[in-house]
Structure 1
Amino acid sequence: MNYFILSQDERITNAVKPVGIAQVIKKELLTIERMEELEELERQFPVLEKGEMVYTDLIEKPIMLISDAVKQLVEKYVPNMPFKAVVLTDMPKLMQTLYWLVIPPRVRCLSTQTEFHLDGTLKKLVIDEQLAAPYSFFQIEGIKEQFIVVNIELAESILRRDFRGIRLQKIQTEGRWNDILSVGK
């Protein structure tokens, strides 16, 4: 099976940027086990004012936020996925936009073929598709990077919709499907 890293399309240079969210929602809180602690935190954040802004369907930094439309799609594939509402506020335009903080499960699916740099960052990512197979939307355990990974069914569903600012990057896999393809050549 094919898997893809879900990320923000960096070609959209005027994408909206939330201000102050990283100071309130710390990265160490972004685990399923600590989701309840997030409920008590601020839910509304201003956006950086800089001319005409594009509200993309995925905001990757400072923390990953997805639009309401993407959330509804993810829920079809993973009905029990925990989400936290976050409202981005553009005060000069008197506009509020609903986004969702999502914390996918961390899955131990690294292949032994994965390679790391000396500082522990990824050099070459390879996932074991048999370990990842039960999941449609997840993070990879055992790496420093905060990637959200989607399987091919969810990736195709994302591509069929008119989402803005989402990029999908294929991940190399090892496992049963690659073995079958190799034998069939």
Structure 2
Amino acid sequence: MNYFIMTQDERIAQAVVPTGVFDVLRPEWLTPDYQEELDEAILQFDLKPKRENVYLDFLDRPIPLYSDRLKELIHKFAPRLFAKSVVLADQERVRQDVYWLLVLPRVACLSEQSEFHPNGALKRLVIEGANVKRHTIFQVEGIREPHIIIDLRLAEALLRRDFFGIRLKKVEHV
């Protein structure tokens, strides 16, 4: 099976940017262990003021957020993922949009062939495909980067539709 890192398309400079995220949301809530706390939270974030705001289907900064359409597709492949609605509020334009925060499983699939910089940052990601098992979308346990990995079936489904602002990069695997 082939795997891909899903990222926000950085070529789109006017993409919306939520602000004040970590004033409301604690980073550990993005793990399966804190679903109850996350479920009880009311999540609404203002957008960084810009001349123009472009709403992408996937935002990965400062936290991964998925458009309604993208969440629906992902749930067809991974129906048990916990999803929490998030409101993005553009105060200047008096506009609100619903995005979704998905809590992804962390899978212990990091290969010993992966390489790291001296400061611990990931240099080259290699995963062990056999350890991924049946996960369609997940994060890799043991790295500090919040890479979102999807399998080939989900990648093909994304590419067959007109999603906007998503880039895929193939991941090495053994």
What TM-score results when the alignment is normalised by the length of structure 2?
A: 0.96
Structure 1 stretches (4+) deviating beyond 3 angstroms? Answer: none
Deviation of the 1:115 alpha carbon: 1.4
Q: Deviations over 1:33-92 (max 9, x none)?
A: 101111232321211121111000111111111101000000000011001100111123
Mapped partners of 2:124, 2:61: distance in 1 = 23
Mapped partners of 1:161, 1:27: distance in 2 = 31
Computed over aligned residues only, the root mean square deviation of the Cα atoms, in angstroms, reads 1.0
Task: Find the counterpart in structure 2 of residue 159 from structure 1.
Answer: 159
Kindly, what percent of the aligned residue pairs are identical? 48
Mapped partners of 1:22, 1:16: distance in 2 = 17
What TM-score results when the alignment is normalised by the length of structure 1?
A: 0.90
Deviation of the 1:110 alpha carbon: 1.1
Deviation of the 1:136 alpha carbon: 0.4
Unmatched 5+ stretches in structure 2: none
Bigger mean CA offset, 9-18 vs 21-30: 21-30
Mapped partners of 1:148, 1:123: distance in 2 = 16
- The answer (yes or no) to whether the contact 1:107–1:139 under 8 Å persists in 2 is yes
- The answer (yes or no) to whether the contact 2:24–2:43 under 8 Å persists in 1 is no
- The answer (yes or no) to whether the contact 1:22–1:63 under 8 Å persists in 2 is no
**Does 2:68 match 1:56?**
no
Matches for 1:125-164 after TM superposition, within 5 Å: 125-164=125-164
Q: Deviations over 1:100-132 (max 9, x none)?
A: 011110000111211122221112111111111
Number of residue pairs matched by the alignment: 174
